[in-house]
Amino acid sequence: MSRILVVEHVPHEGLGMIAQGLSGFDLEYMRVYETGKAEVSPEGYSALIVMGGPMGVYEADIYPSINNEMELIKEALKKDVPVLGVCLGSQLLAASAGARVYKGGKKEIGWYNVSITDEGSSDRLFLGLPDEFPVFQWHGDTFDVPSNAVNLASSDLFPHQVIKVGKRAYGFQFHFEVTEKMIGEWIEINEGELKAADIDPKKIIKETPEKIEGLHRLGRAIVQRFARLID
């Protein structure tokens, strides 16, 4: 059975519904919030998944594991190991491929539409999917597109939403893995952040039931297609 290394930064930002599409794989977890460090080699793994977290790529002085993770991602890119990055994971992928990661103009938290770019419409992960759809966002940082990458999706606030680096590495700024329970937990944990960003949690809670099933359909398609890239 193929082994996938899953990197988690905080307990409440796990695989969510992504795990459902990977039932045929052996998932091994590297929980840096427990160890404070990360492995730096993808040797023995058929894919790498890097999840989200509240830290910034530029905070390696506070979170030393960030440098370890970037070495891990660089090695995966060099060896053409499939990579899937979500939120912080996408920013780490961008930085590992040589791009700048930085704070955006404002925070994008809640339900927002993203649009597929021309490059995205012909990519295997999005082929045949809608040109525009609502997704769940929770981030304030953004990134430039690396020189060896293409941008596959955009939103009004943040133009770089999905990047593809090389042939089999994808970074998603938005959260397609979330469940309704996860969203409720994030709102409770990050009450102060929402208040500071002038984000209404009641609006998020109200919109979630009507939009999350569509997000899950999208997420299932993405995970199934990513799984086909894994040797």
- Enumerate the active-site residues: 87, 175, 177
Query: End-to-end distance of the chain based on CA atoms, in angstroms?
Result: 10
3-class secondary structure per residue, 167-209: CCEEEECCECCCCHHHHHHHHHHCHHHHHHCCCCHHHHHHHHH
CA dihedral over 128, 130, 135, 140, signed as positive or negative = positive
Question: H or E element: which one contains 48?
Answer: strand 47-50
Cα 228 to Cα 204: distance, rounded to the nearest angstrom? 33
Question: H or E element: which one contains 164?
Answer: strand 162-165
Question: H or E element: which one contains 71?
Answer: helix 65-78
Cα 221 to Cα 231: distance, rounded to the nearest angstrom? 18
Q: Taking the CA atoms of the chain, what radius of gyration do you get in angstroms? A: 16
Cβ-based neighbour number of residue 106 at 10 Å: 12
Task: At 194, list the tokens.
Answer: 């929402």
